[in-house]
Structure 1
Amino acid sequence: MKKILFFLLFCAFSGFAQNTDSLQIRKIYDEILTNGECYKTLTYLCKTIGPRLSGSTGAAKAVQYTKKVMEDYGFEKVFLQEVMVPHWVRGAKEEAYIENGKVKTKVPIVALGGSVATPAIGIKAEVIEVKTFEELKALGEAKVKGKIVLFNRPMDPTKINTFEAYAGAVGQRGNGASEAAKYGAVGAIVRSMTTLQDNNPHTGGMRYAPGIPMIPTAAISTNGANLLSKLLKENPKLKFYFKQNCQTLDDAPSHNVVGEIRGTEKPDEIIVVGGHLDSWDLAEGAQDDGSGCVQAIEVLRAMKALGIKPKRTIRAVMYMNEENGLRGGTKYADLAKQNNEKHIAAIESDNGGFTPRGFGMVGTNEQIAKVTVYKNLLAPYGLAEIGRGSGGADIGPLGNLGTLLIGFKPDSQRYFDFHHAQNDKLDAVNERELQLGAASMAALVYLIDKYGL
């Protein structure tokens, strides 16, 4: 039955899609590749505003800036949704070194988001290295108590999709501190989530389990982790010192930023395209996720520039607090439910501004079949990977409302070179790749708007 449904949809669509729709999609790409402004918007976001961690001055400035950008483009409605967000601050730069006998070797670390600080004098202790929580459990309190645990499981380099490699390693970052504290560890050091071997430590969110002591935790660069591991094999009694000065303040008020073009025929049906406005504090947040935000704005800008009057309401949403709380995405879905809004599809760009490859989807078989028939139209633009996949963290809560969740899929090979690290700056983004991503999302929005789900 499913195959018959897909065949009928394809036959019904293919008879007319190859002419008028292909021409309109070509116009969308031409407009964005010729007159696109998303790189200009990203330049201001990165170079004038900079880091945008939730609760920070940078995040507040980014809210006002993106609101003004959408107002200046003449979107029919631009508004803010208030949301309370966590407010964690890093404080003075972290310090760390390996003490191997009389030799002290400095290594790069960064506190993980949400971690507590070390004592003012720092922490120095022997180190236990593990790759899994099972290894840690087997060692038990007798071998872990009073020591620093090094979680040193690398991202699997054999995974072609680097997000699969990330998923296989990131648990140690999120839960490592509490797992180590169960057995009396005084601190946790986690290998950075990247396949690169370099000196850039990558931060990211962590969480403490209720009822377990909160111990300080930091990410160490891959080169630093490799060196520490090597020296531990030579001298299991060496010591590691680290000091960090972070703290969690009271929750702070912030906002999602929403701009829309109202539908002409079915205005109560909403299609969302968006990214998250917050970024970690180490760099400019160009790939994660300034790119997704400016691409979302560009989708609506291009539609207005081309005189496209959508049947359904199209929204660009800049979500706040994806990195360390997901409160913006949750708030958006809560308000959608309270207001009885019908979101038929939500597209998120949060995998970087690299060369487009396709879209991953979470939804019913019927919803996914309806979008899959567009493959022939989109394949000439490099969008060959269209099917079941993952949507996105910010749009995830909309799934409970029956919304089709769509994740924009760019090439994944370089994303974790920059993810949550100090090198996530504007020069990490290629302008043409960024524009191609915006055009890809605009083309899909056009098709979903025209034919519905």
Structure 2
Amino acid sequence: MKLKPILSAVLFCAVSLSASAQNDSVTIRKIYDEALVNGKAYENLHYLCKNIGQRISGSANAQKAVEWSKKLMEGYGFDKVYLQEVMVPHWVRGEKEQGFIIDGKTRTPVALAALGMSVGTPKAGITAEVIELHSLKELETLGADKIKGKIVFFNRPFDERFIEAGRAYGTAGDQRNLGPGAASKYGAVAVIVRSLTSALDNYPHTGATSYGTNTPIPAAALSTIAANKLSETIKNAKGKPVQFFLKDNCQMLPDAQSFNVVGELKGTEEPNQFITVGGHLDSWDLAEGAHDDGTGVMQSAEVLRIFKAMGYKPKHSIRAVFFMNEENGDRGGLKYAELAAANKEEHIAAIESDGGGFTPRGFGITTSAATLQKINENWKPLFTPYQSDHLTQGGGGSDIGPLKQTVPGVTLIGFQADSQRYFDIHHTPNDVFENVNKRELELGAASMASLVYLIDQHGLKF
């Protein structure tokens, strides 16, 4: 280990800055010290994952998470802790799904998981010829004559040319989000989708689908190994029909009552102006929701805890928000924005952490080019010693996005963690506490607290 060069970099940064920036540098150093030495995010995440577990909206575990989160923030002595009631979808997976590739007399079981919001199959399951497609556009090209009565298999992999893995996820996601509804329009009886990941493994990745106005049909995601096996089987059949068997037990129950959990430090100068930092408390039901998004909510609470521990009194009111129902409805984010507008709140900025608790890289900021340039000129040197200085254009998140429509002037910001491993475990049974690194989580919380501090001190109007 070589500590001296790192300390020298921090000192060099401090002496080369203006007096105001030097004060900021000293405070940011204190923020990192508190997070790394006395941080609570990791142990809080352990409790959330191991004592509560999966937290799909409408479930008993989601309610347990709400109650525990409220007590956690109250225990830290935040100035105000409260719940925002919101009605959420209540989708239930039911018994474990079954899937088989049927090639003549050969039945090969494969790893798959129903997509969130999918309808169930008949009790006996569905057996039908499977047709492989790589885009939604192919549905239109083939038409109902070639699709009706079949199971559509969307098998478009990630585009590996993207450096930022989230962009690959975004360009591949339509086949999961919209594919089942689109295939239903042409008479398909079910849809199976290649899991949205670069990883080659046997973990199926769930995630929400939306049928729009089309008739709901059963939909499931195959692991990437299973998708490759099915594609190979179809290719080797040389035009002969290959069938697939799918059985799941999903159902939609009536909407359920749930809550956003909000903790607040009251501003000393502008108490009616808010900086929000948050993530989503709900998770999919296959695992513990550690990276998605247990890390995000625990980092958000940690921001306020760090300020309390330091004795920092913010100028503006700062909120940590644990949003409910990001995964299959965004109801929590919509409710938060609705209430912000109804209460005539002024929001300076909203920061969302929903990209996993990996090594922090920086922030995506939705603002003008001129403002972003000023942000980089003034703040990039402060983040450089901590290697989280990528301050780029465009950022936000599903939960804070609705604020843009209801609260004029809010700046949306997305916390950016290293993305290379995130989609290996995203929405899978492998999203467990053991796959979160303590130090990476703490560094992320410190970087978020540092940005909140800078916004609180200086605003975003340069």
TM-score band w.r.t. shorter chain: over 0.9
1:399-438 mapped onto 2 (5 Å cutoff): 399-400=404-405, 401=407, 402-438=409-445
Give distance in 1, aligned partners of 2:257 and 2:85.
7
TM-align CA RMSD: 1.2
1:225 is matched with 227
Please report how far the alpha carbon of residue 178 of structure 1 lies from its aligned counterpart in structure 2 after TM superposition. Answer: 1.5
Give 1:350's aligned amino acid.
Answer: D
Please report how far the alpha carbon of residue 379 of structure 1 lies from its aligned counterpart in structure 2 after TM superposition. Answer: 1.2
Asked if structure 2 preserves the Cα contact closer than 8 Å seen for 1:363 and 1:403, the reply is no
Q: TM-score, normalised by structure 1?
A: 0.95
Give 2:395's aligned amino acid.
Answer: S
Give 1:313's aligned amino acid.
Answer: S
Asked if structure 2 preserves the Cα contact closer than 8 Å seen for 1:191 and 1:220, the reply is yes
Give distance in 1, aligned partners of 2:348 and 2:122.
51
Give distance in 2, aligned partners of 1:149 and 1:288.
28
Say which of 392, 396, 416 aligns to 1:391: 396
Unmatched 5+ stretches in structure 1: 1-12
Give distance in 2, aligned partners of 1:398 and 1:89.
29
2:38 is matched with 35
Give 1:389's aligned amino acid.
Answer: G
Aligned residues: 440
Asked if structure 2 preserves the Cα contact closer than 8 Å seen for 1:367 and 1:404, the reply is no
Q: TM-score, normalised by structure 2?
A: 0.94
Say which of 291, 298, 304 aligns to 2:295: 291
Deviations 1:72-123 (A, max 9, x none): 0000100000000000000000001111111111001111001100011000
Give distance in 2, aligned partners of 1:86 and 1:366.
41
Three-state SS of the structure 2 residue aligned to 1:189 is strand
1:14-413 mapped onto 2 (5 Å cutoff): 14-210=17-213, 212-235=214-237, 236-365=240-369, 367-369=371-373, 371-372=375-376, 373-400=378-405, 401=407, 402-413=409-420
Say which of 428, 447, 450 aligns to 1:443: 450
Three-state SS of the structure 1 residue aligned to 2:96 is coil
Three-state SS of the structure 2 residue aligned to 1:305 is helix
Give 2:328's aligned amino acid.
Answer: N
Please report how far the alpha carbon of residue 337 of structure 1 lies from its aligned counterpart in structure 2 after TM superposition. Answer: 0.5
1:10 is matched with none
2:5 is matched with none
Please report how far the alpha carbon of residue 365 of structure 1 lies from its aligned counterpart in structure 2 after TM superposition. Answer: 4.6
Three-state SS of the structure 1 residue aligned to 2:51 is helix
Three-state SS of the structure 2 residue aligned to 1:143 is helix
Give 1:275's aligned amino acid.
Answer: G
Unmatched 5+ stretches in structure 2: 1-15
Please report how far the alpha carbon of residue 134 of structure 1 lies from its aligned counterpart in structure 2 after TM superposition. Answer: 1.7
Give distance in 2, aligned partners of 1:362 and 1:393.
14
Give distance in 1, aligned partners of 2:370 and 2:78.
32
Please report how far the alpha carbon of residue 234 of structure 1 lies from its aligned counterpart in structure 2 after TM superposition. Answer: 1.4
Give distance in 1, aligned partners of 2:195 and 2:18.
51
Deviations 1:378-412 (A, max 9, x none): 11111221021221110001122221001000101
Give distance in 1, aligned partners of 2:404 and 2:368.
10
